[in-house]
Amino acid sequence: MIKKYLLLALLASAAPATANVYSVSIDTSSLSGPGSLFFSFGPGVSPFDPATATVSSFSGGGTLGSTIPSGAGILPGALVLSNAAPAFYQQAITYDGSKIHFLFSLTGPAISSPNPGAVGGTDFALFLLDGSDNPLLTDDPNGSIFDASIAPGTGAVSFATFQPAVVSISAVPEPSAFLLLIGGFALMGARLRRR
């Protein structure tokens, strides 16, 4: 009986992350020269639940230049955008063909305690633009390279990547998941050692 509980605890610790933190990697090896990164975060129709998008640990892609922020923060540091009103952030970049990496998180009532009566979701999008503000590396008619949508009333997050070979998005496990995993292995080891 104890074996079943230990196995259940071990499997539960290997569950996907419940926090909405994602690691994003974008292959820009085909890009060079001047351009910009454009982040947008905005609500759908009212009523919608408040949410915040944070971009952090930004690296690669090229040399960053001037900004046109409406959110709080500046890359390569943390960039925080709120859906209280449509928010955007544009940063000049000279692409050097290296991969862009960053952590992306979604927080707020839209995620943690969604209102079942909300009818408007919220969308986060990233656009890679050339020096004339034309979209790069995408098949999306709107020009984004990827889009994260928060479903109204449920807090479920879905992604659309418009060049799957270029964009990689994966959930980042919470530290508590690692602790549970280590605890599960310790319990299994102790149980085996008693034999």
- Strands in 111-154 per DSSP E: 122-130, 146-150
Give the sign of the dihedral formed by CA 176, CA 179, CA 180, CA 181.
positive
- Other C-beta atoms lying within 10 Å of the C-beta of residue 158: 10
Q: Could you give the CA distance from residue 25 to residue 104 in angstroms, rounded to a whole number? A: 11
Give 138-168 pLDDT, tens digit per residue.
989 999 999 999 998 898 999 999 888 899 9
Give 175-194 pLDDT, tens digit per residue.
665 566 677 777 777 777 77
Domain definitions of the chain by residue range:
19-177
Give 103-144 pLDDT, tens digit per residue.
999 999 999 999 888 888 899 999 999 999 999 999 899 999
Q: Are strands 157-161 and 79-82 parallel, antiparallel or unpaired?
A: unpaired
* pLDDT band per the 50, 70, 90 thresholds, residue 30: very high
The pLDDT of residue 177: 58
Q: Are strands 72-73 and 79-82 parallel, antiparallel or unpaired?
A: antiparallel
